[in-house]
Structure 1
Amino acid sequence: MKKLTIALMVIAVLLFACGIYNYYRYHSSIDAFSEQTLAEARARMQDSAENIDRQISDLQKQAAGLAEEFARDFELKASSTTRFQEILASSPVLLGAGLLKRSELASADSRRRSPGYVAKGEKASLNLADLLQLCVYSAGVTSDGDEDEVVVFDLSRQQLQNYLYSLHVCKQGYAFIIASNGEFICHPSESLMRAGKTIYDHANEEKVASLADLGKAAASGQSGKFDLLADVSGNPMWGLLLPMKTTGWSLVKIILKEPVLQPTVEQQKQRYAAVTLIVVSISMLLLLAGLALSKDTNTRWWAASVLLSAGLCVGIAVLWQLNLSNVRYSHRGEVPVADEGVLEQYLDNLSYRMILDGHDVPKRIKTGVFLQSVDFQSAVSLKITGYVWQKFRTDLPMEVEEGVIFPDAQEVEMEKAYERTIGNMRTVGWHFSLLLRESFDYQTYPFDLESVWLRMWPVEFDKNIVLVPDFDSYVLMTPEFLPGIEASLLLPGWKLLQSNFSYLAASYNTNFGIARYAGIEDFPELHFNLIIRRNFMDPFISSILPLIVVLILLFIMQMTCSREENLKDLFGFSAGAILAGVAALFFVVIFAHIDLRKGLEVAKIMYMDFYYFVIYLLFMLVSVNSVLFCWPREFSLIHYRDNLIPKLLYWPFVLSVLFVTTAFYFSP
C-alpha cells in the first residue's frame, strides 16, 4: 500500500509539473503575440502620425506661401480660385480653401457666400460641424483698402477620419485624434463631432473613467500604452497615445484586449491540455491527502472520497469556464472580411479564377445590412427584421437588376424603404422581415456558441455578379463593436458577441436550367453573421440544477442502505422502497430528457445527454445494489462495512465520468 501511494504521488507530481510547463508556454505565446500586436499598432500609428503631420505641415507652408504672394502682388489674387482648386484636388483632407475678408471667417454661411472661397463639392453643402479651420494667414488688404484679406485652409473632420482608415491605423480597433483641450478633431462617431464634445464628456457619458486619464495624458504631450476599462460593459481595452508635433494634437488608438488575447486553436489545445493535467494531478493529490488525514479507516476513506470529488467538481467548472471564454467561431471554408484589404485580395483571386474559367471579371454590387431584431421561433427557425441596401454608380450604364434574394428564407416580406442619389452614387434600401430556417450545432449545449447568418444572392444570381460589403456605410467594422446591429437589439437567453461579413464558396449540382450560369462551382456567396453565445444561467437553472437534485436524492437513497437495526428502523430501508423511489425519479428524468431533445431538435448525441445517461446508469446501479444488499447471500463488495464501498464510490464515479465527458466535448 505504501509503495502504491508513493507511485501515485510521483505520477501526480509529474502530471502537475507537465501541466504547469504547458500553461507557462501557453501564457508566454499569448504575451508574445500581444506584444507583437501592440508593436505593430505603435509602428502603424507612428507612420500615420508622421504622414498626417507632413500633410498638414505642407498645407500650412502652401497657405503661408500663397498669402505672402498675394500680399506682395495684388494681381495674383485674380487667379486665386484656380490655385485653390489645384491644392484641393491634391489633398485628401482639405474641405475648402480661399481668399476671404477677415469678417467672413465667422461661419460656414459666410464661406458659402464668399466668391473667394473654394470647396470640395458644392459650397451649399458645407457643414460647420465637419469644418475644422487649419490655418489663417494675412494676405494684405482688399482692393478698396477697407478690410484685411486672409488665406484660409479648412480641414474636413470626416475626410481626416477616412484618411486614418486609408492608412490602416484602425486595424484591430479604432482611431481618433484629439486636441490638447480634449476636443475631438476627428472620430468614427459623427455625433461626437457634431455635438462638439470633448473626450472628458465622452468618458462621463459612456462611463469609461479611464478615457479621461487618457485625455489628461494627451494634454501634457505624453505617449504610451494605457489600460482602459469600460465600467458598464467590463470590456478591458488598451489605449495607445502618440503626440503629433506640427499641430499639438494626439493620435489615439483604442484596442479591445479580448480579440488580441484570444488564443488560436493550437494555443487553446495547449491550454486545455495543461488545465486537464493540472486538474487530474490535483485530484490525485487530494485523494492521497484524504487517505493520510486520519488513522481511522472509515474517516480516511470518506475524506479521500470527498476531496477527490471536490477536485473533480472544480475541474469540471474550470473546463466550463475555458469553453465560455472562447469567442472564436468560424464555419469550415468561410472567409471573414472585415476591411478593404482582405476584400480586395479575395476578389482579385476570384477574378483570376473566373477569367481562367472563360468568364468575365465579376460585376460588384455594394451591399449593406442592418439588423433591428432577431427572434428564435424554435430551435432551428428564427425571425429577423432589418434593412438591406445597395449602391449603384449613376455615371455607369445600369447592367444589373437591383435587389437581394435571401435563399434560406421560408417567408419573405420586403418593400422598398428609400432611394437617394448623392453625387454619382444612387442608394436603394429595402426593409425586410424574414422567417429563416437554419441549422445550429447544439452538441455543447448549454455552452454553445452559434452563428445566425443571413445569406444573400443578387437578383440575377445566374450572372457573373458578386455582392460586396459596403464598408463605407459603417462607423466601425471591428466585429466586437457589432457593426450592422441595432444597439437596442435584445435576444433573450443569448449574448451578442460579434457581427461580420464573410464569403462562403458554394457549389451546386445544377445550373438551374440556365446554360451560361456562372456560379455552379465555388462561387462566393455573401453572408452577414451575428455570433452569439447562450447565457449559461438560464439552462443551468432549468436543465442542470434539476439533475443535480436527482443525483443528490439518489445518493441519499444509497446512504439509507443499512443492516444495522437502529438505522434500518430510522430510515425505513428496504429494497422495495428504493425501487419505488427510483421508479418515480426515472419518469421525471426521462420526460425532461425527451422534452430537452425535442425542444432543441437535435439528431446527434450532445453533451447534456451524458448527464442523463449517467443518471440512467445510476438508477440501475442503485436498484441492483439495494436488491443485492438485501439478498440472503453475502457479496463482499456490497456488504463490506454495511455497503461502504458503493457509498464511497458514488460521487467519484459520477464526477469522473462527467469530467471525462466534459474534457472530450470541450476539447478544441
Structure 2
Amino acid sequence: MNEKNWQKIAFNTTRNFCLITLSLALFGALFYSWSQKRRFDAARLDAKRATVRVSLQLERELRFAQDIALAIANDLSSGRLSDEEVFARLELDIEKDPNLSDIGVAYAPYAYAEDVRLYAPSVTRINNELQQSQLEAIYNYTRPKYLWYLNTKQRGPNWGEPYAELKNPESDDPVVGFYTPFYNSTGENKEFRGVVYTEYSLGKFQELMNSLKLGRTGYGFILSESGVFLYHPNEEYVKSLENIFNITYEQESEDLRDNLIKALNNEPVETSLSDEVTGQSSWLFLRQLDLNGWTVGIVFIQDEILPDTLTTRRQVIWLSLAVLWCLISLSILILRAYLGNTKRLWIVSSIATLLFALEIGFIWYLALRGRNYTSTRDLLLSQTGVQQLLAPQVELSKRLNQQPPIYVPTGVFIQSLDFATSNDVFITGYIWQRYRPGIHDDLSQGFFLPDALDGNDLEIKEVYRVEETNSTVIGWYFEATLRQDFDFSYYPFDAKDVQIRIWHQDFNRQDLNRQIILVPDLVSYPVINPKARPGIAEDIVLTKWNLADSFFEYEFKNYNTKFGVLNSVIKTRVPELHFTIVLQRDFIAPFISRVGPIMIVVSLLFALLLVSNDDNAMEVLGACGGFVFIVILDQITVREEIVTKGILYFEYFYFVLYFFIFLVAVLAILLLSEKKLGFVKYKNNLIPKLLFFPCIMKLLLIITILVFS
C-alpha cells in the first residue's frame, strides 16, 4: 500500500472519529441536561399531585363531618329530633366517622329548659372509647373568649379556628371543628337555640399527611383560614397554635408571606424558596380548600432530588472525554498531521499531551468540588427535618407499646482538632444538653463518646449550668482521642469526615420503657448551613487541612447485641447523633513536593529517549537504573507519611514511571540489537518520541478516571 493510500485512510478514520465524538459530546450534553430537567420536573409534578390529592382527601373527610352536623341541626330545627334523643343521636353519628374526636350540641341559655341556664350534651372519643359528658360542666361556652359559639350565633355555619382541648384529659392536642346553628321549630320567627358541632383532634391529620412521599425531609402542613397551623411535623407549632405569619415576620421572609396571602385568597401557589439559615433550596406548593378556606402546603427539598456526587461526576467525566477526543481528532484534521509531516506531528503530540493534562486537572477539580450530602445522608438542618426523620421511631414505640421517645437537645462546639495518627483524632471543645422539667425528670444528665480510645486521653467535666425559663442547660468541656475510619485512596485530593458520635447515658435503660434520642440543639446556632461551619471555632488551627463543612446528622445503626439485658430486644435502626466535620486536604504542598520530582524524572527520561542511539545505549540503561532508585525512595517517603492498607491514587504515578523507565530501557536494548524493528528504525526512533508524553498522560488519565469514578 503506497503512502497516499495510507494518508487517505488516516484522514477518513480521523474525520469519522471526529464526527462520532462530536455527536457523542452533543448528545451527551443534551441527555445530561434533559435527565436533570426530567428529574426535577418529575419530582415537581409528584409534589404538585400530592398537594392536590391531600386537598381532595382532606376536603372529602371534612365535608362528611360537616354533613353530620348540618343533619343534626336540621333535625333539631324541624322537630324531627327531640332534645331527649340528642345523646343517642350523637353516639350514633360519631360512630360513622372514626376520625371525629368530639360531637355535641350546645344550647343557648335557657333554650333547653326554662330552669336550666346551660345544657350541652357531648360525646368524646377518648382512647378509642366513647364517653358522654356535659360541656357546661367543664366551661361556660357562652363567654366571649370561646369564639366558636359566638361566631356561629352571629355568622351562621362555619369552620372555626383551633383551640385548646378541654374535654379530653388524655390529649393535649388542640381541636378544630365545624359549627352550625339550630333554631326553634315553633313560632313564625326563627329563634336561635344553640350550636351543633363536630370536632377533630389536630393529631388526626398526622395520619393523612404521613401518607405523603416527599423525600426524607420534605413535608406537608395545613393552615386554618387565618394561618394557624392545623398540622405540621413540628408538633410545637400545632400545640402552641402558632400562626405562620408570625414566623414569616420573625424570619423576615417577605416572599413567603406574599405567597401565603395569595394562597389564602384562593390562588394556587408554586414557587421556589431558599433558606439562608439552612442553605437548602425547596419548592413550596400551596392550595386552598374550597370547602372552608383552609390551605394545604407541601414543601419539597430540591437538594434531595440531585444525584449523589459520584454519579454526577461520572456523567460529567464521560461527557468531557467525548469533547477531549473530538478536539484531538480535530487538531489532526486542521493541522493535516495525517500527511506525516514531522513538525506537525510534534504539534499534535503537544496538543494531545496538553488536552490529556487538562482533562486530568478537570477531574481533580470535580473531586475537590463540594459534595452533595443531602441526597445520600440524613443531615439535620431544621427542626422540621429532624421530626420527619424521627417519625418512624414514634411509630415503632407505638408498636412496641412503649411511651413516646424522649428527645434531649444537644449542641457541640469544637475548639481544636489534631491528628494523633492516620486514624486517630484528638478533639477538644464543649458539649451541652438542654433538660426541661416535666419531660426529662427521670433521666440522668450526661453523655459519653463511644469512639473514645483511651481513658487517659478522655476528659469530660461540667463547666456551667444555666437555669432558663423552661429548661436547664448543662455544658461540659471535653478532651478525647477518637478512632475514625478514614479513606486515603484519593490522596492528595482526599477529604476526611471527622464524626463525633454522641450517646446519652441512659441509652439502654429499660425501666423508662421508651427510647432516649439525642436531637441537635438547632436554636443555639444562628446559621445551620454546613458551608457556614456551625459549631466550629473561627480561629481553629488545622495543619495540612482546610475546613470545608460541619453539620449534625443521623446514622441509623443496628446493634447485634442486647447489651446484657436478656429481656430486652435487639436494637435496630437506632438514630445515632453525629456531629460531622468535613476536612479537605490542602493539596498544594504535597502536590508540588511530589509532582515536582516526578516531572523532573519524566523530563530526564524523555531527554534520554531523544539522545539515545546505538553508541550510548548502555549509558541509557545505566541512567534508567538510577531513575528507578530515585522513584522508589520517593514512593517510600509517601508511604511513611500516609499509613493505609490500600493503594493511594498518587502511588499510581510511580507505577506509571516504573513502566516507562522499563520501556525506555527496552528501547535501548532494541537499539543494541543487530536486527532493529521498523518503528525503532523509522526516522531515528521518531514514533516512541512522539508518543512518549501523550502515552504517559493518557495512562495517567485512565487511572484518574478509574479512581475518581
Fold match by TM threshold 0.5: yes
- The alpha-carbon distance between structure 1 residues 638 and 49, as it changes in their structure 2 partners (threshold 3 A), is same
Name the structure 2 match of 1:381. 425
Residues 63-114 of structure 1: per-residue CA shift (max 9 Å, x gap): 998566448447665345x7498899999xxxx9852543898xxxxxxxxx
Q: TM-score, normalised by structure 2?
A: 0.58
Structure 1 letter corresponding to 2:9 = K
Distance 1:161 1:486 in 2: 36
Distance 1:233 1:403 in 2: 28
1:251 aligns to 2:282 (yes or no): no
1:371 aligns to 2:421 (yes or no): no
Structure 1 letter corresponding to 2:452 = A
Distance 1:170 1:232 in 2: 25
1:131-170 maps to which residues of 2 (within 5 A)? Answer: 163=205, 167-168=209-210
Deviation at 1:586, TM superposition (A): 7.2
Counterpart of 2:486 (choices 440, 447, 461) is 440
1:41 aligns to 2:88 (yes or no): no
1:544 aligns to 2:610 (yes or no): no
8 A contact 1:482–1:498 mirrored in 2:
no
Deviation at 1:616, TM superposition (A): 7.5
Distance 1:460 1:88 in 2: 29
Query: Helix, strand or coil: the match of 2:335?
Result: coil
1:318-333 maps to which residues of 2 (within 5 A)? Answer: 318=363, 321=366, 324-327=370-373, 329=376
Structure 2 letter corresponding to 1:528 = L
Distance 1:83 1:414 in 2: 56
Query: Helix, strand or coil: the match of 2:263?
Result: helix
Distance 1:345 1:616 in 2: 60
8 A contact 1:244–1:251 mirrored in 2:
yes
Structure 1 letter corresponding to 2:556 = S
Distance 2:334 2:349 in 1: 9
Counterpart of 1:652 (choices 679, 694, 709) is 694
Distance 1:213 1:318 in 2: 43
Query: Helix, strand or coil: the match of 2:702?
Result: helix
Structure 2 letter corresponding to 1:544 = F
1:288 aligns to 2:332 (yes or no): no
Structure 2 letter corresponding to 1:444 = Y
Deviation at 1:495, TM superposition (A): 1.6
Deviation at 1:44, TM superposition (A): 3.9
Structure 1 letter corresponding to 2:362 = A
Residues 180-223 of structure 1: per-residue CA shift (max 9 Å, x gap): 89888887597998798557646646xxx754663454354322
Deviation at 1:43, TM superposition (A): 4.3
Distance 1:545 1:71 in 2: 94
Residues 221-247 of structure 1: per-residue CA shift (max 9 Å, x gap): 322432334568764321222223355
8 A contact 2:180–2:195 mirrored in 1:
yes
Name the structure 1 match of 2:450. 407
1:339 aligns to 2:385 (yes or no): no
1:310 aligns to 2:355 (yes or no): yes
- The alpha-carbon distance between structure 1 residues 260 and 240, as it changes in their structure 2 partners (threshold 3 A), is same
Query: Helix, strand or coil: the match of 2:431?
Result: strand
Structure 2 letter corresponding to 1:409 = A
Identity %: 13
Residues 398-451 of structure 1: per-residue CA shift (max 9 Å, x gap): 8x989765432232526698899x99xx99988573622222223234344737
8 A contact 1:180–1:248 mirrored in 2:
yes
Structure 1 letter corresponding to 2:263 = A
Residues 135-160 of structure 1: per-residue CA shift (max 9 Å, x gap): 999999xxxxxxx999999x99xx96
For the pair shown, which has the larger CA radius of gyration, 1 or 2?
A: 2
Distance 2:165 2:128 in 1: 8
Name the structure 2 match of 1:495. 549
Name the structure 2 match of 1:570. none
- The alpha-carbon distance between structure 1 residues 500 and 604, as it changes in their structure 2 partners (threshold 3 A), is same
Counterpart of 1:604 (choices 619, 643, 646) is 646
Structure 2: which 5+ runs fail to align?
Answer: 1-5, 74-103, 131-137, 148-161, 184-191, 379-385, 541-545, 612-618
Deviation at 1:259, TM superposition (A): 0.9
Residues 470-491 of structure 1: per-residue CA shift (max 9 Å, x gap): 4999889xxx9789x9954468
8 A contact 2:163–2:241 mirrored in 1:
no
Structure 2 letter corresponding to 1:454 = R
Distance 1:380 1:179 in 2: 53
- The alpha-carbon distance between structure 1 residues 226 and 195, as it changes in their structure 2 partners (threshold 3 A), is closer
Query: Helix, strand or coil: the match of 1:288?
Result: helix
Distance 1:545 1:90 in 2: 76
Distance 1:163 1:386 in 2: 37
Distance 2:440 2:235 in 1: 30
8 A contact 1:223–1:243 mirrored in 2:
yes
Residues 239-298 of structure 1: per-residue CA shift (max 9 Å, x gap): 222223355353333222121232599xx3xx6665554444433332222222325532
1:527 aligns to 2:533 (yes or no): no
8 A contact 1:290–1:300 mirrored in 2:
no
8 A contact 1:19–1:273 mirrored in 2:
no
Structure 2 letter corresponding to 1:527 = E
Name the structure 1 match of 2:285. 240
Distance 1:586 1:395 in 2: 62
Name the structure 2 match of 1:261. 306
How many residue pairs end up in the alignment? 582
Distance 2:657 2:241 in 1: 61
Structure 1 letter corresponding to 2:499 = V
8 A contact 2:518–2:576 mirrored in 1:
no
Structure 2 letter corresponding to 1:290 = S
Distance 2:487 2:667 in 1: 40
Structure 2 letter corresponding to 1:407 = P
Structure 2 letter corresponding to 1:292 = L
